[in-house]
């Protein structure tokens, strides 16, 4: 096949995929949400933005703008330099078909990678353009300056990050001298224009504070970035790109699916894929392990061990974050916020915490594990952690001469929420990281307290929570 | 254990996405090797998933006299799907311990480790299967299944991705299971392997799925595989 025919075939296949993808997406949105509803929502967003702009407080005297060049030049420069130092992962990923075209066919890498690079640039440009437009509105109200180029400036800076990231990625550990040269050149220009913007008032981000067409310098930088990226591809693509692209595709699919399913992606699976992406040893073998359970252990203990093992292997920062979050939830019971506000605050805090305390799901359905063993096994380590943090909370409360009941209420409520989350997720078939499951569980966990307080018998809340917990712990099979 | 057959299917019918995949499937399996064959898309995997209780179906499926979804049935069979279903958060060694405990067979762990050693995976016990190749994952999946002492093994295309020594080891292990009085249901396309296995003096049958029906092209105990059957296997 000649290159020309190959390119036209590729374009044809891409158009076909995109049109099919777009039409199924349009049908899905039409059925799931309704296009009328979407238009209605967009209309209200526009109204909200206009109304928001109108209620912006106006000052008698505009705020001084003398510090804007330094702030914006520094921020823009640091952002671009940070992008230029991101060399471990690519800013783009390919679909399966394009990975094979890149790796297994004679096609020029530029032909394959041009589309995803442009797609990434346009996406980042569009998001940043909107933010820049918002700045234009704010600047005219607060600083009394007209900045029509802010949107284009910010859009181009955002799009340029794609090229800087790609060049940094291509230059790392390879003989790609073109990528190295273009990266160095762009970094020099970015630093110089950033300093010039801060000192002279004309430079990288001057579109944020003045009307001078020199503010459009980022457009030129973006053009240089695009030329640089294309030049770097003359030497081919980085060898690790194909494998990393496939992992990135899986990661992004996970994020997209979780968005559609209104849940958070499974954090453990996400971490494993990130480890694979970055080639960490922990993607091949664990860096931490718990002792294996004894061979005469019960099934319940085996499931609980697996749950504890998963939690134990999470990064230390995650574990510290979990304990702090748990402490906050327990101590939020002591806070004086009451009424609907207090109810919502506690439900929210609990909803964010609970999914982190449940063990991994059991995808292999033919294994002879009873639902009660699975249910309790998945929650047992979480219950133990709550108990441990609870004991510390009680100890601290007694040291500070606080009454113990609020802390006890918080502990039992969190335990109840955890049991409810596992049940709700299992019964309804939701992922335990899903918004539906965690919101339902956290709200239900607060129901005993809300009901009893409404009827003036709030002193029975602790007992009621313990009783409901006991009921949930009863085996159902 | 009761006198019920190890596996019994009565008027099994599976309809997926309004498409009739299987209809009026009747089958009774005891201590024997059942080699399930048919063209791609004929319904072999569907039949296996249905009898493992992983797909909705009409009719009756009984494993040692119980519904496949019951704990008793699940404690009496192991299913190896065509794509290895593993716990990606556990190492190979941890898989063996967890599987042995889940099936309440502590002694199975040693057998699983033995199979892993025979599959040349003894040096990879501390690794996650997600970093392994398709064949290595398949070997783990098979070791976990073969280590268990269960009346029924259901294996969907177990030879795929295996190297030649591993295929020979699997064939031998499955024959041994049948000789020990267990039932093995295997789906595969490899006619040469079928010939080797079915010639091994074990009670065996070749079943062909065609047009949503199961056809018994029976071959009784120790009888040589007829050319016709092999042609069908290779079709």
Domain chopping of chain A, boundaries: 1-55, 62-239, 299-361+369-473
Residue pLDDT, tens place only, A322-339: 999 998 888 776 665 667
Contact list, B71 vs chain A (CB under 8 Å): 368, 370, 477
In chain A, % of residues over pLDDT 70: 95
Residue pLDDT, tens place only, A425-443: 888 877 787 788 888 999 9
pLDDT score of B223: 39
* B106 inside 8 A of chain A by CB: yes
Q: Tokens 């493992």, residue?
A: B52
**By three-state DSSP, how is residue B148 classified?**
coil
Nearest to A284 by CA among B113, B94, B116, B125: B125
For residue B185, list its beta bridge partners: B34, B154
Record: contact A366-B128, CB cut-off 8 A: no
Residue pLDDT, tens place only, A118-129: 999 999 999 999
Mean pLDDT of A54-81: 82
Residue A279 has pLDDT above 80, yes or no: yes
Could you give the CA distance from residue A153 to residue B74 in angstroms, rounded to a whole number? 63
For residue A377, the chain B residue with the least C-alpha distance is B102
* Mean pLDDT of chain B, nearest integer: 86
- Chains A, B: CB pairs < 8 Å: 83
Residue A42 has pLDDT above 80, yes or no: yes
Could you give the CA distance from residue A182 to residue A232 in angstroms, rounded to a whole number? 8
Residue A6 has pLDDT above 70, yes or no: no
* Mean pLDDT of chain A, nearest integer: 87
For residue A360, the chain B residue with the least C-alpha distance is B89
Question: In angstroms, how far is the first alpha carbon of chain B from the final one?
Answer: 39
Residue A262: pLDDT band (50, 70, 90) is low
Could you give the CA distance from residue A13 to residue A204 in angstroms, rounded to a whole number? 40
Residue pLDDT, tens place only, A384-421: 999 998 898 888 888 888 888 888 888 999 999 999 99
Any idea what DSSP says for residue B10? Answer: E
Mean pLDDT of A226-252: 90
Residue A342 has pLDDT above 90, yes or no: no
Mean pLDDT of A72-88: 92
pLDDT score of B218: 56
For residue B68, the chain A residue with the least C-alpha distance is A366
pLDDT score of A13: 77
The contact set of A with B (CB < 8 A) is: 268-269, 272, 276, 283-286, 289, 292-293, 295-299, 301-302, 305-306, 309-310, 313, 360, 363-370, 477
Record: contact B128-A284, CB cut-off 8 A: yes
Could you give the CA distance from residue A147 to residue A210 in angstroms, rounded to a whole number? 6
Record: contact A364-B87, CB cut-off 8 A: yes
Is the domain B1-76+152-235 a CATH 3.40.50.300 member?
yes
Question: Between the CA of residue A86 and those of A79, A154, A442, what are the distances in Å?
Answer: 11, 20, 39
Residue B42 has pLDDT above 50, yes or no: yes
Closest by Cβ to A366, choosing from B53, B94, B100: B53
Nearest to A241 by CA among A90, A410, A434: A90
For residue A361, the chain B residue with the least C-alpha distance is B87
Nearest to A247 by CA among A283, A288, A285, A287: A283
Nearest to B152 by CA among B44, B76, B67: B76
Residue A477: pLDDT band (50, 70, 90) is confident
Residue pLDDT, tens place only, B65-94: 999 889 999 999 999 998 888 998 899 999
Residue A239 has pLDDT above 90, yes or no: no
Choice among A71-80, A127-136, B199-208 with the minimum mean pLDDT: B199-208
> Structure tokens of B61?
């499926």
Q: Tokens 């981000």, residue?
A: A205
Q: Is the ipTM of this complex over 0.90?
A: no
Could you give the CA distance from residue B199 to residue A333 in angstroms, rounded to a whole number? 72
Residue A70: pLDDT band (50, 70, 90) is confident
Q: Tokens 């966990």, residue?
A: A445
pLDDT score of B224: 41
Mean pLDDT of A359-366: 78
* B235 inside 8 A of chain A by CB: no
Residue pLDDT, tens place only, B212-225: 888 776 544 333 44
Query: Are the C-beta atoms of A246 and A99 separated by less than 8 Å?
Result: yes
Mean pLDDT of A83-111: 85
Could you give the CA distance from residue A116 to residue A113 in angstroms, rounded to a whole number? 6
For residue B15, list its beta bridge partners: B20
Residue B185: pLDDT band (50, 70, 90) is very high
Number of H helices, E strands in chain A: 17, 0
Contacts of B103 (CB under 8 A, 6+ apart): A367, A368, B75, B78, B148, B150
Choice among A294-303, A421-430, B127-136 with the minimum mean pLDDT: A421-430
Record: contact A302-B74, CB cut-off 8 A: no
Query: Are the C-beta atoms of A189 and A79 separated by less than 8 Å?
Result: no
pLDDT score of A286: 92
Residue A80 has pLDDT above 90, yes or no: yes
Nearest to A381 by CA among A362, A363, A364, A356: A356
Contacts of A307 (CB under 8 A, 6+ apart): A358, A359, A360, A377, A378, A379, A380, A381, A382
Report the residue count for chain B. 235
pLDDT score of A1: 44
> Structure tokens of A113?
């990678």
Residue B164 has pLDDT above 50, yes or no: yes
Task: Kindly give the pairing relationship between strand B7-16 and strand B19-29.
Answer: antiparallel
Mean pLDDT of A64-88: 88
Range 122-141 of B in CB contact (< 8 A) with A: 126-128, 130-131
Closest by Cβ to B54, choosing from A289, A366, A370: A366
Residue A263 has pLDDT above 80, yes or no: no
pLDDT score of A200: 80
Record: contact B74-A364, CB cut-off 8 A: no
Mean pLDDT of A27-42: 90
CA distance A128 to chain B (A): 38
For residue B80, the chain A residue with the least C-alpha distance is A366
């Amino acid at each position: 096949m000649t290159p020309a025919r190959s390119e036209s075939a590729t374009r044809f296949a891409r158009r076909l995929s995109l049109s099919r993808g777009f039409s199924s997406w349009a049908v899905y949105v039409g059925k799931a949400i309704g296009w009328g509803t979407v238009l209605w929502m967009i209309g209200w967003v526009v109204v909200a933005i206009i109304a928001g702009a109108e209620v912006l407080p106006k000052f008698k005297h505009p705020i001084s703008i003398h510090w804007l060049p330094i702030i914006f030049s520094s921020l823009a420069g640091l952002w671009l330099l940070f992008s230029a130092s991101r060399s471990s992962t690519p800013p783009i990923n390919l679909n399966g078909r394009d990975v094979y075209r890149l790796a297994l066919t004679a096609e020029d890498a530029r032909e394959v990678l041009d589309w995803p690079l442009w797609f990434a640039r346009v996406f980042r440009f569009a998001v940043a353009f909107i933010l820049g437009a918002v700045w234009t509105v704010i600047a005219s109200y607060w600083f009394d300056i007209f900045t029509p180029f802010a949107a284009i400036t910010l859009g181009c800076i955002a799009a340029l990050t794609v090229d800087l990231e790609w060049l940094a990625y291509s230059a790392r550990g390879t003989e790609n001298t073109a990528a190295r040269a273009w990266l160095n050149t762009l970094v020099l220009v970015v630093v110089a224009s950033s300093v010039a913007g801060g000192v002279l008032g004309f430079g990288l981000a001057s579109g944020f504070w003045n009307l001078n067409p020199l503010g459009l310098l980022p457009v030129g930088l973006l053009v240089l970035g695009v030329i640089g990226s294309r030049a770097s591809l003359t030497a081919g693509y980085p060898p690790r790109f194909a494998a990393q692209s496939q992992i990135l595709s899986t990661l992004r699919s996970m994020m997209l699916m979780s968005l559609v399913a209104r849940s958070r992606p499974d954090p453990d699976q996400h971490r494993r894929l990130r480890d694979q992406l970055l080639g960490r040893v922990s993607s091949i073998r664990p860096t931490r392990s718990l002792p294996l359970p004894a061979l005469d252990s019960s099934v319940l203990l085996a499931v609980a061990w697996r749950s504890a093992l998963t939690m134990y292997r999470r990064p230390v920062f995650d574990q510290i974050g979990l304990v702090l979050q748990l402490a906050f939830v327990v101590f939020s019971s002591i806070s004086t916020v009451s009424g609907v506000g207090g109810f919502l605050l506690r439900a929210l805090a609990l909803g964010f915490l609970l999914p982190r305390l449940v063990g991994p799901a059991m995808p292999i359905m033919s294994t002879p594990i009873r639902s009660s063993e699975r249910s309790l096994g998945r929650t047992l380590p979480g219950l133990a952690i709550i108990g441990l943090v609870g004991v510390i909370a009680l100890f601290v409360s007694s040291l500070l001469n606080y009454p113990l009941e609020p802390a006890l209420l918080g502990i039992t409520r969190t335990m109840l929420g955890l049991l409810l989350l596992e049940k709700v997720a299992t019964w309804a078939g939701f992922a335990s990281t899903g918004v539906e499951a965690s919101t339902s569980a956290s709200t239900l966990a607060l129901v005993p307290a809300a009901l009893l307080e409404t009827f003036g018998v709030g002193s029975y809340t602790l007992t009621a929570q313990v009783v409901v917990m006991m009921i949930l712990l009863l085996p159902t099979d | 254990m009761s006198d019920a057959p190890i596996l019994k299917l009565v008027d099994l019918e599976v309809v997926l996405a309004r498409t009739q995949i299987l209809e009026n499937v009747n089958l009774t399996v005891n201590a024997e090797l059942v080699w399930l064959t048919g063209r791609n898309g004929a319904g072999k995997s569907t039949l296996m998933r249905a009898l493992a209780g992983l797909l909705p179906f009409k009719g009756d499926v009984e494993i040692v006299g119980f519904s496949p979804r019951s704990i008793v049935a699940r404690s009496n069979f192991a299913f190896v799907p065509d794509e290895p279903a593993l716990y990606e958060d556990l190492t190979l060694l941890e898989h063996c311990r967890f599987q042995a405990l889940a099936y309440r067979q502590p002694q199975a762990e040693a057998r699983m480790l033995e199979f892993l050693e025979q599959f040349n995976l003894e040096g990879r016990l501390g690794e996650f299967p997600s970093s392994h190749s398709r064949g290595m994952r398949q070997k783990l999946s098979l070791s976990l299944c073969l280590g268990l002492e269960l009346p029924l093994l259901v294996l969907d295309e177990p030879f795929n991705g295996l190297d030649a020594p591993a295929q020979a080891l699997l064939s031998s292990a499955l024959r041994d299971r049948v000789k020990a009085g267990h039932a093995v249901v295997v789906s595969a396309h490899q006619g040469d392997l079928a010939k080797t296995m079915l010639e091994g003096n074990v009670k065996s049958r070749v079943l062909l799925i065609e047009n949503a029906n199961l056809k018994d092209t029976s071959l009784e105990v120790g009888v040589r595989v007829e050319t016709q059957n092999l042609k069908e296997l290779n079709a």
